Amino acid sequence: MINVLFFAQVRELLGESTIKVEASEQTTTAEGLRALLAAKDDKWGKVLASDKLLVAVNQTISSWDTQVEDGDEVAFFPPVTGG
């Protein structure tokens, strides 16, 4: 299983803070996992649009082509801005 975490506005909009996803051929990269979740419905698709997200795999900021394996933790969160 892949432990998926949602933070900040992503968590608020989805109404989920964490879910478990079965590892599969589609979830071998962060992008594959994002696409699988975004396909759940229109709300998930809008919230999980890759141009609006950052991803971390095992608590390290990662690119969308980062490999994801069974037992990994993947977090999705909006870009952070400061002032």
In angstroms, the CA 60 to CA 39 distance is 25
Amino acid 25 reads: E
Q: Which residues pair with 1 in a beta bridge?
A: none
Residue numbers of the domain that contains 27: 2-77
In this prediction the pTM is: 0.93
- pLDDT for 78: 92
Q: Smallest Cα–Cα separation from 31: which of 56, 66, 6, 7? A: 66
Confidence of residue 68 (pLDDT cuts 50, 70, 90): very high
Checking if the pLDDT of 82 tops 80, the result is no
Q: Is residue 83 part of a domain?
A: no
The total number of structural domains in the chain stands at: 1
Task: Please report whether residue 50 resides in a domain.
Answer: yes
| Amino acid 51: pLDDT | 85
Condensed to tens digits (0 to 9), the pLDDT of residues 30-49 reads 999 999 999 999 999 999 99
| Per-residue pLDDT band at 81 (split at 50, 70, 90) | low
Specify the CATH number for the domain of residue 9: 3.10.20.30
Helix (H, G, I), strand (E, B) or coil at 37: helix
